[in-house]
Every structure is written in structure tokens, then in C-alpha cells.
Chain A
Amino acid sequence: MSLITVKNLYKEYDDNVVLENLSLSINEGEFCTLVGPSGCGKSTFLKMILGQESPSRGLFLFDGKPFPTEPSIERGIVFQRYSVFEHLNVLENVMLGIELGESKFFGKLFGAKRKKAENSAMEMLDAVGLKSSAYKYPSELSGGMQQRLSIAQSLVKKPKVLLLDEPFGALDPGISADMHTLLLELWKKNNVTVIMVTHDLHEGFYLGTRLLVFDKVRHDPQAPDAYGARITYDIPVGETSSTVYRKIDKSIKEE
């Protein structure tokens, strides 16, 4: 069943058209990667799914209902940076999601409930390979470990969609390879839909099940903002050839 339905969607800021006439549908359990030249609106699209931005026109449904216009627990997010809480240690960072959900006034659990939350948080940390760092503060972690933590934080809430905004953009190539393996593993195990924005075509091409390429089709040299980006490629990963790869690579780098 279609989790996210988009039909004839436009996003404009005054005269600046960012996205034009977007139509697609994303099913439950898919792993979509979004690539495109910078400024093509892929991050804007992600923000609309997150609830940080709303579309100007068009149909935009989440699970058959209009999109909530503010962030909620159904949609987890991992940003490139700053998405862990510096004042909490690793374990507390993961527990926070459980605590905010169960304790509406203090946002904090005590006693037996706390113990239970600690156990589920520990399980999640084990899954992302951070169990041995449970009592460290984020500032003591490397960039890759902080991103693992951020993923664990989101997954503990069992969101329907996990959104990732260039999550490995700031990491070393060797480390992002490890992160790819981990992410695929978690995706399969947690039965979650993943939508990831990346600027690395290679990443988008081999990770996940579906590749969406955003690009501007029409250009007006007199008014560069007059036309927005559309989806120029929508291809299942695995059935792609190196010719297509080169073609997309070229179109992205033209900007």
C-alpha cells in the first residue's frame, strides 16, 4: 500500500519555483534515495515529508491522510549534524524518545519504568554497535558514532518512515561504507520505510531499492528561478546499467 502519495505537487517561494508538478508514490518498506544537483529541491522535498515545510499546491498524502504540518513520531529524522543531545549521554539520548512518549509532564521516567526503558534503549544501542559507549557523552564520540546514535534515537520510536538528510556527507569514505551496511541491516530488521537524501550518486545507486533523481528540466536564462525541479529518473536499484549511471552523473554535475 502507498505510504506517501504525491500528485501534481508544487513548492514555490514567491517567484522562486522549487519543485514543479511532482507526482510519485512511495510504498511501505521501500528504501528510496534522492539525488540531484545542489539547490534542486531534494532537501525541500524531505522537509515537506518531515513537516517542516508545506507544499504550495497539489495532493500530498501520508498513509491516505493529509500530511501533518509539524514533525511527529511517525517520521524519524537523522540530519547531517546536530541531531543528538549534547547534555545527555548515549544511553539517555536513546531513552529520551521513550521517556517523552510515556511521561507527558516530566518527560522523564523513574523506577521500574525507567529500568524497562533502559533495557530497550540498550538493545537498540547493541543493534547499532554502541553498547560499549553507552555512558559516554556525544562530544566523546566520532562523527560516525554520533550518526549511529542519531539513527538509534529515531528507531527506538518505531517510526513509519526514517528520513535521512545527507547523513554520511561529513564522514570519511571508509566509515560511510560501514554505515551503509549498518543502515541496510537496520532497514531490513525494523521493517521501516527509508528516504535518504544524498549528494553521492554512488551511494544512491547501490543503497536501497529505488533511486529518484531531481533536476530542472526547463531552463530560462533570463529567469533562473522560473522553473522548478522535477523527477527526471525514477528507477529501481539493481536494474540499472553503467550507461544510466553515467548519464545521471553527467546531468547532476552540469549545474
Chain B
Amino acid sequence: MKRLMNQKPSKSTALFLGLLPFFVLFFVYIFASEARLAENPNDKLLPSMTTFTQAIDRMALTPSKRSGEILFIKDTASSLQRLGTGVLISATLALLMAIPLGLIPYMRSGLSPFVAAFSMVPPMAILPILFIVFGMGEMAKVALIVIGVTPLMVRDLQQRVSEIPAEQLIKAQTLGGSTWTIVVRVILPQMLPRLLDSTRLTLGTAWIFLISAEAIAATEGLGYRIFLVRRYLSMDVILPYVAWITFLAFLFDYLMRRFTYKVFPWYTAGKDNR
């Protein structure tokens, strides 16, 4: 018998083991839900599958009686729009700030302490300021994502810039590069896949800020809906919404990873996965 640490599962066993926790959770839920409903048919904490189906039908398939829109689609669209705008602005800002910060000593001396201090400000604490300044509209919610996520990305990317081996930068200078052309031809192309990686990893944080902002002031959105129906203990709506948000987060992570591998084959050549 080999040591446990040397035993590897076959492909099908690995798949089975990977799915197992999901099934376990599912069956534990069904079991618990039925036990509670048997005792009190009006229990709202763990709804049955039929209640879920009805809720999903109400939210995602039937147009709302009041506005004639399908709420689920409207919520998803406006949340994704906020998330996308916020993350896009953050990524652009990060790229524009991190390269000078990582490469130019004068920039680093001048701005690094400020960026470090600014990134310590808890974004949720300044959310009221954002609502005061930008009003209750879209701007405040996007601004919260930008303020929450940009410092993380700037610091991560600045680190990546300074990780470029000094040998490469000297070599580029001996090949006749100026500061600008070295940025354009050597640093920027190497930073793009790293920016995608950084964006992918901060997406989770961006979701937190999005849902928090929506919980406080919004008229539609995934976070808004969850916090709205909480008043009626509507677990039958909350749980599918949470599952949907989780699925979206997973999907974006997967798609961005695939995109990075596809567009920057050299970046992944050194890594042995996928």
C-alpha cells in the first residue's frame, strides 16, 4: 500500500469526489426541509422544491404585474451593468497608475505612500459620503466598487511591474528603448494578462461592494431584491438568487481564465495547468 499522500484518484473517481459534496448538501437540504415542513407546513426557513419552482416561475418567467418586466432579468441586467462599469473603470485606472508607480522612481516616491494610505480607508465607511456626493443614482454604486477595488488592483499590479527582472529592462535600454517605448513594448504587453488575473481575483470583492450598495439604495438589482424580500422571509427567492450570483461569479472567473489562456499563450506556457 502506497502512502496516502502518493495515492491519486482516477479521472472518474476525481469527478465523483468533486460532485459528492454538492449532492450531500442537496440531500441534507431536502431532508431537513421535509422534516421542518412536516411539522409546520407554513414554515418559511427551508422551502420545498415546489415552492422554489413557483418562486422561480414568478420571478424569472412571468412578467411583473406592476411594470410588465421580468424582475429577475431586470435585476441581473442592472447589477451586471454596475459591476461591469465599476470593474472596467478600476482596471483602467489600475493600469494607468500601476505602470508609472512600478517603473518610475519619482512617481513611486511621490505617490506610493498615498496609495498605501488610501487603500486602508474602509470603503463601506465612506459609502454615505458617496451617496451625499453622487446622489442615490447609479454613480454612487459604481463609485463604491471603483473605490473599493482600484487600490487592491493598483497595489497588485505595481508589484507585478516591479517583478519584471531588472535584466529585461536593462536589455531593452541597450536595444535603444526610451522610457516610453519600453513601457509600450515591454511592460504593457506583459502586464495585460496580469491585469486580467488581478481583475479576476478582485471580482469577488467587487461583488461584495455591489451587493452592499444595492442593499442600501437601489430600485432594482440582485442585491436589492435579496434585501427587499428578506422582510417577508422569502427564502424561496433569496436562495435561488444567491445560487444565481454564485453561478455568475463562477462563470466570469472561468471565462476570464479561458480568455487569458487563449489570448496570451506565452503567459501560461510556464504554468502547467489547462
* B165 CB-CB contact with A under 8 Å: yes
Give the CA-CA distance A36 to B186 in the complex, in Å.
Answer: 34
Residues facing A in B25-83 (CB within 8 A) are none
Contact residues in A for B267 (Cβ distance below 8 Å) = 86-87
Residues facing B in A72-107 (CB within 8 A) are 72-73, 75-77, 79, 81-89, 96-97, 99-101, 103-107
1/0 per residue, CB under 8 A from B, across A141-159: the answer is 0000000001001100101
* B178 CB-CB contact with A under 8 Å: yes
Contact residues in A for B265 (Cβ distance below 8 Å) = 137
Give the CA-CA distance A86 to B170 in the complex, in Å.
Answer: 15
Contact (A86, B190) CB under 8 Å given A75-B174, A101-B176, A104-B178 = yes
Q: Could you say which of A84, A108, A139, A153 contacts B269, with CB atoms under 8 Å apart? A: A139
Cβ–Cβ contact A52 & B170, under 8 A: yes
Q: Is the interface of A mostly helix, strand, loop or mixed?
A: loop
Cβ–Cβ contact A100 & B185, under 8 A: yes
Cβ–Cβ contact A85 & B168, under 8 A: yes
Cβ–Cβ contact B269 & A140, under 8 A: yes
Contact residues in A for B270 (Cβ distance below 8 Å) = 86, 139
1/0 per residue, CB under 8 A from A, across B161-175: the answer is 000010110111111
Contact residues in A for B250 (Cβ distance below 8 Å) = none
Residues facing B in A174-220 (CB within 8 A) are none
Contact residues in B for A71 (Cβ distance below 8 Å) = 170, 173-174
Cβ–Cβ contact B269 & A72, under 8 A: no
Give the CA-CA distance A81 to B184 in the complex, in Å.
Answer: 23
Give the CA-CA distance A75 to B180 in the complex, in Å.
Answer: 20
Q: How large is the interface on A (under 10, 10 to 19, 20 to 34, 35 or more residues)?
A: 35 or more
Cβ–Cβ contact A108 & B173, under 8 A: no
1/0 per residue, CB under 8 A from B, across A123-151: the answer is 00000000000000111100000000010
Contact residues in A for B180 (Cβ distance below 8 Å) = 105, 107
Cβ–Cβ contact A108 & B185, under 8 A: yes
1/0 per residue, CB under 8 A from A, across B238-274: the answer is 0000000000000000000000000011110110000
Cβ–Cβ contact B186 & A85, under 8 A: yes
Cβ–Cβ contact B172 & A100, under 8 A: yes
Cβ–Cβ contact A96 & B269, under 8 A: no
Contact (A100, B176) CB under 8 Å given A87-B266, A106-B184 = yes
Contact residues in B for A255 (Cβ distance below 8 Å) = none
Cβ–Cβ contact A100 & B168, under 8 A: no
* B189 CB-CB contact with A under 8 Å: yes
**Minimum C-beta distance from A79 to chain B (A):** 4
Q: Could you say which of A106, A139, A159 contacts B174, with CB atoms under 8 Å apart? A: A159
* B181 CB-CB contact with A under 8 Å: yes
Task: With A104-B178, A139-B269 given, name 7 new contacts (CB 8 A).
Answer: A82-B167, A87-B264, A87-B266, A87-B267, A88-B189, A101-B175, A105-B180
Q: Which 7 A-B pairs have the closest CB atoms?
A: A107-B181, A82-B165, A71-B173, A97-B175, A139-B269, A82-B167, A107-B185
